[in-house]
Structure 1
Amino acid sequence: MRYTVAIGRAETYHPDVLQPALVRLLAPLGGIASFVKPGERVLLKPNMLAAREPERAVTTHPEILRQVIALVREAGGVPLVGDSPGVGGIRRVAERSGILAVVEETGAELAPFDETVTVRGRGLFREFQIARPYLEADRLINLPKLKTHEMMTMTCAVKNLFGAVVGTAKAGWHLKAGADRELFARMLLEIYLLRLPDLTIVDGILAMEGDGPGSGDPRHCGLLLAGANAVAVDVIAAELAGIPKKLLWVERAAEKLGIDGWDRGAIDTCGLCFDDARVSPFRLPHISDVQFGLPRFLKNRLRHYLTSRPCGNPDACNLCGICRDTCPPGAIEIRDGKLRFDYHACIRCFCCRELCPQGVLEVREGALLKIIKKFV
């Protein structure tokens, strides 16, 4: 089976630029009418990681959402907007990111992910608690932001669907699977398979590189991507961003599990010429771990030396406590006016850095990791 990923360009989020760019992007895929039928309730799932302004490139830009809402309405669909942010309530995150204003101005429905449904897993994990609106909508349109990710290297189409897991349950999954990148990637794919998105549209106009998904640097790319298969969309997004396959944990896991869309040879691109869409390679997150593949007894003994770990910056940290409150294993405390980390309990998921509103948590590398990096 072959898969198609459309590539388009939009240099700005101005509606006069973005609206026709989205129409052109979707045209080779059959237009929005191929994915939305009259009367259907259509859940739009943006990236609403945390309460940040649009120019920081942490969340899906609100103008992308506005234009997709308009397209859904043109097709006769009823648009809903939902997510479960990593920290903070959905209204607070939606307000700060500009998404709430769009929802109110367009008359779309904000669908908080606060009620869950227990769904039996189809793989390694036996069950998941998934947001009811996510499962019950007639159609699902995935609206991820193209960003680097300190744990998964890249977050885009598949990773964005982790937002279907509600609130504090995300911390539980980090505890279950977050200490092992391969296991965490498999968990993300099993969530993806519970409810395949009907369409994915990637906001790559202002992307993020470096220490994403919350503390990286905005990177203007002027790109839009769309496709019916989210794994295939991720494969193309990573190639355009110059991210090597060996660092793409989700895509490697998809290949290992035989999930549709992983094979680049089976993916066709349309719209903008692929070579014209390429950008200079993204600056990637620091190498945080070289212990995968080691026997467990060696991992336990050498973990401190073979991994990076988060640390506080006392000159910049205002001790807001968000990192402490959201740390999955509870490895952070505030004591004597400083952040204190229990590195024996820390699972190196970097959720603390991901959700720090000031982006001031730093990274300290283990001694052996420093040496190894000199030869990488």
Structure 2
Amino acid sequence: MNVVVVEKAESYRPEVVGPAIRRLLDPLGGMGAFVRPGERVLLKPNMLAAKEPERAVTTHPAVLREVIGLVREAGAVPLVGDSPGVGGIRRVAEKSGLLAVIEETGAELVPFDETVTVRGEGMFREFAIARPYLEADRLINLPKLKTHEMMTMTCAVKNLFGAVVGAAKAGWHLKAGADRELFARMLLEIYLLRTPDLTIVDGILAMEGNGPGSGDPHHAGLLLAGANAVAVDVIAAELAGIPKKLLWVERAAERLGLDGWDRTTIETRGVAVEEATLPPFRLPHLSDVQFGLPRCIKNRLRHYLTSRPCEIPGACKLCGICRDACPPRAIAIRDGRLHFDYHACIRCFCCRELCPEGALDVREGALMGIVKRFV
């Protein structure tokens, strides 16, 4: 059985979150069950973009602080690393409040700039993965519980996409991002290259709506932990009320037969699931009929069926971040406004995910309302 622990924590105040994380890890044997004295332990938070903690885009600094403290108590050396979606790691760490914690605790901020090419054992032949991610003695995954416009939910497995460095993320979106099933398969193959020793989910202030970067903060008051990231995702989705048919990573894990996808193999401890279950999260505009239509029809009508990003009039500052981040180069700036090539657009929504102004919205495909009546 895979054990996933659920705990409640109403705030990030030290006197609340500290004891809550200790209670969270106790049924798993405490931090000492996962790290040994002298080991270099990489903590991998969600550092998507330079946003304040109250925006719920990144892992909260209070959670990072407590985990660093527990790693030190176990006699290990804490490192903190990631490859942000936009901006340098130091800028993202500073804005999100994580840098202050790293400096105060004496942990080491590790940029993901050097890569190692690793041969895959699945559909994808090789991956360029951050060297610190692969070479750390232990890996502790610290995701944020959020909705996601492409994968419906981002949590434990999706957070590991940060091991792909910089512009290579756009390359993977271009290679696999036009097909959610394929993208989920790619995420799982990255997960299998280096499975985390422990996952601790920050769900105290989660995100719903059009996540992972433009959604709305949602006070869930929860922490989750487990050794199996897939199982942690399954329980996180259950607590958030997200139906399995929309969970692309979990469905792909089932097809691959990965340990953790089957709810009957997961034992929950801590707070009972029925006590922790939340009103269903408000989900993003995932209206692209990835299921329910034959592939041949879906491909031909894709432009008219799928939701697509669009500019909010007057909100865009023309910074060019969306244009530069777009994997298929489907965005241009002309005559003082954004222009989208929707036939080239792969609907990965990286533009919305990374826009610092929240200046992009989603427009539903012209035929989508009709099709929804029949699928």
TM-score grouping bracket, smaller chain normalisation: over 0.9
Conserved 8 A contact 2:289-2:298: no
Inter-partner Cα distance in structure 2 for 1:154 and 1:300? 24
What TM-score does the superposition give when structure 1 sets the normalisation length? 0.98
What TM-score does the superposition give when structure 2 sets the normalisation length? 0.98
Show the counterpart of 2:362.
363
**1:119-130 matches, cutoff 5 A:** 119-130=118-129
Amino acid at match of 1:244: P
CA offset at residue 316 of structure 1?
Answer: 1.1
Inter-partner Cα distance in structure 1 for 2:229 and 2:286? 26
Show the counterpart of 1:24.
23
The Cα offsets for residues 285-330 of structure 1, whole Å up to 9 and x where unpaired, read as 1133015565555334311111011111231111111100100111
Structure 1 gaps, min length 5: none
- Structure 1 residues 368 and 291: CA distance shift in structure 2, 3 A: farther
Show the counterpart of 1:279.
278
The Cα offsets for residues 109-144 of structure 1, whole Å up to 9 and x where unpaired, read as 000000000000010000000000000000000000
Show the counterpart of 1:194.
193
Inter-partner Cα distance in structure 1 for 2:373 and 2:14? 46
| 1:318 pairs with 2:320 | no
Conserved 8 A contact 1:291-1:306: no
Show the counterpart of 1:148.
147
The Cα offsets for residues 13-33 of structure 1, whole Å up to 9 and x where unpaired, read as 011111111111100000000
Matched-pair identity in %: 81
Show the counterpart of 1:9.
8
Show the counterpart of 1:81.
80
**1:1-376 matches, cutoff 5 A:** 2-292=1-291, 294=293, 297-373=296-372
2:353 alignment partner, SS class: helix
Amino acid at match of 1:68: V
How large is the Cα RMSD of the aligned pairs?
1.1
Number of aligned residue pairs: give it. 375
Inter-partner Cα distance in structure 2 for 1:104 and 1:90? 14
1:314 alignment partner, SS class: coil
CA offset at residue 364 of structure 1?
Answer: 1.1
- Structure 1 residues 291 and 198: CA distance shift in structure 2, 3 A: closer
Inter-partner Cα distance in structure 2 for 1:201 and 1:173? 26
Inter-partner Cα distance in structure 2 for 1:295 and 1:218? 36
Conserved 8 A contact 1:215-1:359: yes
Inter-partner Cα distance in structure 1 for 2:183 and 2:69? 35
- Structure 1 residues 40 and 324: CA distance shift in structure 2, 3 A: same
Inter-partner Cα distance in structure 1 for 2:369 and 2:360? 19
Inter-partner Cα distance in structure 2 for 1:371 and 1:15? 51
Conserved 8 A contact 2:226-2:232: yes
CA offset at residue 375 of structure 1?
Answer: 6.0
1:286 alignment partner, SS class: coil
Amino acid at match of 1:137: A
1:20 alignment partner, SS class: helix
Conserved 8 A contact 1:314-1:338: no
Inter-partner Cα distance in structure 2 for 1:117 and 1:313? 40
Inter-partner Cα distance in structure 1 for 2:184 and 2:205? 25
Amino acid at match of 1:51: A
1:101 alignment partner, SS class: helix
CA offset at residue 373 of structure 1?
Answer: 3.4
Worse-matched range after superposition: 287-296 or 318-327:
287-296
Inter-partner Cα distance in structure 1 for 2:363 and 2:232? 33
Amino acid at match of 1:52: K
